[in-house]
Amino acid sequence: MRGLCWPVLLLLLQPWETQLQSAGPRCHTGPLDLVFVIDSSRSVSPFEFETMRQFLVGLVRGLNVGPNATRVGVIQYSSQVQSVFSLRAFSRREDMERAIRDLVPLAQGTMTGLAIQYAMNVAFSVAEGARPPEERVPRVAVIVTDGRPQDRVAEVAAQARARGIEIYAVGVQRADVGSLRAMASPPLDEHVFLVESFDLIQEFGLQFQGRLCARDLCNGVDHGCEFQCVSEGLSFRCLCPEGRQLQADGKSCSRCREGHVDLVLLVDGSKSVRPQNFELVKRFVNQIVDFLDVSPEGTRVGLVQFSSRVRTEFPLGRYGTAAEVKKAVLAVEYMERGTMTGLALRHMVEHSFSEAQGARPRALNVPRVGLIFTDGRSQDDISVWAARAKEEGIVMYAVGVGKAVEAELREIASEPAELHVSYAPDFGTMTHLLENLKGSICPEEGISAGTELRSPCECESLVEFQGR
């Protein structure tokens, strides 16, 4: 841990643990399934592991535990994964604390991806005590690690998030920041924590408990928010993505009707996609088109397909209505062959956004947006033309599916990556990306608005903590 030795941390944890114990449960939350995923690799010394145990005990003491409230499970991992206790094992905090204190570290490697896979497939299964999906009980995983994973985490974490598991990533001492960000749920500034001092440990504990308390506001009532519900103290408000205005009812969002944009879609037609998945991509594209104000004065849409070569399916200036664009998308024929992503980016920069292809003159300041779909590693270099696209003022979004390489997606996409890179584990799960993509592509004109609504949830302890 940078700048803070573990003995000092251990001493500092004691009053915090005592404070949690004396205060009792922090908030009467609604139902929650919570699994802690703990790194017990050989890089964690015995003394450090003891500190981690006390950290866990302190968090558990702040929870409203019960069969109909928060269910807690703990797994530890190194080169293998071990269930310490499942979601169905205990209903009392005292039993959980005893099991945590009896933890014996595995002291081998650091297979974080394997641990996430286990949490997704086993720890959050109904057989292990998780509530059935139809009950819509939130599922939360808190991953605590001190090092760099020895396996891949981005894809399996994306699969877990796609299944509705909210992931917090807590890094201690030598933890790799990039891996933490790849694991955590968005927004990253609320789900990634680097523990460098006691203040940050306390901040994580209090913020985490505060989020659990706030869950009653958005998950315990029928809030009716179309896009996002955000809890604020004893109230909540509805938010809309940038470019969409909150309507008078305080819950629904306008369609993307303000401003103009020139949008070019780059679709991977390589043989790895396969025909049935290519049809899913076309349907996904048309769902985005449904949301846009397609017209010569509003949003213009062009589509480019690439494999071993590049083909303009239709340029920006060809179609003036959404119906025409959707019909043209459905008529696109699958190319197959290789994956020349760099060649596709070059074609987009040199041709697709030219006035000859229907792009509006730069003097009009119409936003230029490129959205690329790909399922694998490029067979040519992408760096030059990915950088050139951004130099030309093109805002780039990258959507990766299946075996898409995260490093390439990040290189293609504009900054910040967490807002411009999306990933789906397979073509059938792309739809969970739809709302965020539609909101992002909208011109950034309307700022998200909110209407405050009262809720019966009482979170006295959260208010008390904020006042200290």
Amino acid at 67: P
3-class SS at 62? Answer: coil
**Greater model confidence, 15 or 88:** 88
pLDDT of residue 42: 85
Eight-class DSSP state of 214 = H
Average the pLDDT over 225-230 and give the result: 71
Share of the chain above pLDDT 70, in %: 75
Asked: is 261-441 a CATH 3.90.1150.10 domain? The reply is: no
Decide: 421 and 410 in contact? Cβ < 8 Å. Answer: yes
Question: Distance between alpha carbon 337 and the CA centroid of its chain, in Å?
Answer: 32
Confidence band (pLDDT; 50, 70, 90) for 231? low
Decide: 408 and 345 in contact? Cβ < 8 Å. Answer: no
In this chain, the answer to whether the domains covering 6-220 and 261-441 adopt an identical fold is: yes
Helix axes 46-61, 6-23, angle to 10 degrees: 20
pLDDT of residue 331: 95
pLDDT at 6 over 80: no
Could you report the per-residue pLDDT of 382-400, keeping only the tens digit for each?
999 999 999 999 999 999 8
pLDDT at 462 over 50: no
pLDDT at 242 over 60: no
3-class SS at 287? Answer: helix
Domain range summary for the chain, segments of one domain joined by +: 6-220, 261-441
pLDDT of residue 293: 82
Could you report the per-residue pLDDT of 18-32, keeping only the tens digit for each?
444 434 444 555 678
**Greater model confidence, 340 or 447:** 340
Euclidean distance between CA atoms 370 and 267, whole angstroms: 11
Eight-class DSSP state of 137 = -
SS3 content of the chain, % helix, strand, coil (to 5): 40, 20, 40
pLDDT of residue 439: 61
pLDDT of residue 56: 84
Query: What's the token pair of residue 397?
Result: 């979004």
pLDDT at 298 over 70: yes
> Which one of 57-71, 269-283, 294-308 scores highest in mean pLDDT?
294-308
Could you report the per-residue pLDDT of 246-264, keeping only the tens digit for each?
777 777 766 555 558 999 9
Phi/psi of residue 458, nearest 5 degrees? -110, 125
> Whole-model pTM?
0.48
**Greater model confidence, 406 or 4:** 406
Q: What is the assigned CATH class of domain 6-220?
A: alpha beta
**Greater model confidence, 123 or 28:** 123
pLDDT at 310 over 70: yes
Of the candidates 271, 281, 41, 296, the residue with the CA atom closest to the CA atom of residue 143 = 41
Give the 3-state DSSP-derived string for 409-442, with helices as H, strands as E and coil as C.
HHHHCCCCHHHHEEEECCHHHHHHHHHHHHHHHC
Q: What ranges make up the beta strands (E) of 248-406?
A: 261-268, 299-306, 310-314, 368-374, 394-401
**Greater model confidence, 210 or 26:** 210
**Greater model confidence, 140 or 446:** 140
Average the pLDDT over 127-139 and give the result: 88
